[in-house]
Amino acid sequence: MQFLGRRVFYMAATLLAISLVVFVIISLPPGDFVTALEARYAVQGTRLTPDEVAQLRARYGLDGNVFQQYWHWFSQIVLHGDLGMSFEHQKPVKEVIGARLGATLGISLITLVVTWVLAFAIGIYSAVKQRSIGDYAATTVGFLGLATPNFLIALIFIYFSVSWFGSVPSGLCSPEWCDASWNLGKLLDLLGHLWIPMIVIGTAGVAGLIRVIRNNLLDELRRPYVTAARARGVPEGRLLRRYPLRVALNPFVSTIGWVLPVLLVGDIVTGQILGLPTLGPILLGALKSQDMYLAGSIIMVLSLVTVIGTLISDFLLGWLDPRIRLGNQR
């Protein structure tokens, strides 16, 4: 319990630090949302008077320096759970994010599970059958997957789907199902769309994890305890599961924390290309138009997910590995 309390405290401190840094960095580029608005009006041929500009600034809370703005934003979050207004969407940030958070987390989690299952199976096979044809194939495909940027894979998908089917696979649902309520038909339609972003976002993750698992397991398979367990007659299948695999699991578990944000970042570009209703494209737009409360809030949500992921992996590690659990009692 003490462990839990300490971790939660660290977590809060980390989030506080992240929020400050994020806000300052978002505010760094010259100008603010009103500047961007001015420019947009200028393109349309309307000029804003300095009075109007000052008025707008006051309305959006953009008068005052960065730290006053930060305090305004942060205190609202902590005191009222209010993430502020999105300038661009003219809606509370909560609504803008809320509508898309579900799709983002959904795609990320499903991709994560599929990534793990695949990487785990292929990684173990590769290590146990080292230097077999299957191992070489998995390693080669893994290298390619790791080296190919997500957006390129997405573009390749679009290219082939246009040239073969004449349509672009975009969004998460077909037009006729999008507004329908949930039923089997919509679910099947969703699954039919989901596999493309899953492959696009997950390929690099699978490739990376295969390498992690394979190398860890290869290291562990050479340890004396494997020979010793074999010498005392532990059957091979049980030996692999109970001995080297358990040790090789550790680095795998510690990736839980950072795999999620990697997937979410992958979603920024991929979501843009594939037109997904996720947070990625919104974040990009918010950064471009200096819609700083929206951008800051999205990044805070991502940070929260990351920190929680790290906390989960810490707990799992402590549960799996007595050296971590009992380390300070030695």
Size of the site for other proteins (CB under 8 A): 23
User: For residues 70 and 252, which CB has a smaller minimum distance to other proteins in the complex?
Assistant: 252
Handedness of CA 303, 308, 312, 317 (dihedral sign): positive
Handedness of CA 309, 98, 272, 70 (dihedral sign): negative
User: For residues 45 and 235, which CB has a smaller minimum distance to other proteins in the complex?
Assistant: 235
Crossing angle between the packed helical segments 279-288 and 292-320, to the nearest 10 degrees: 140
Q: How far is the CB of 229 from other proteins (least distance, A)?
A: 7
Binding part of the chain for other proteins, among 35-43, 61-69, 220-228, 251-259 by CB under 8 A, reads 220-228
**DSSP helix/strand/coil, 7:** helix
φ/ψ (deg, to 5) at 312: -60, -45
Specify whether the CB–CB gap between 169 and 274 falls below 8 A.
yes
Q: Which of 40, 129, 246, 288 binds other proteins (CB under 8 A)?
A: 246
DSSP 328: G
Identify the CA nearest to 85 among candidates 103, 73, 71: 73
**DSSP helix/strand/coil, 154:** helix
User: For residues 6 and 238, which CB has a smaller minimum distance to other proteins in the complex?
Assistant: 238
Q: How far is the CB of 304 from other proteins (least distance, A)?
A: 31
222 Cβ neighbours under 8 A, 6+ residues apart = none
Binding part of the chain for other proteins, among 22-30, 70-78, 148-156, 229-237 by CB under 8 A, reads 229-237
Instruction: Decide: is 224 part of the binding site for other proteins (CB under 8 A).
Output: yes
Q: Which of 223, 258, 275, 288 binds other proteins (CB under 8 A)?
A: 223
Strands (E), 90-249: 91-92
Binding part of the chain for other proteins, among 205-213, 224-232, 296-304, 305-313 by CB under 8 A, reads 224-232
Q: Which of 26, 93, 153, 229 binds other proteins (CB under 8 A)?
A: 229
Q: How far is the CB of 325 from other proteins (least distance, A)?
A: 9
Q: Give the footprint of other proteins on this chain (CB under 8 A).
A: 222-225, 227-235, 242-243, 246-247, 320-323, 326, 330
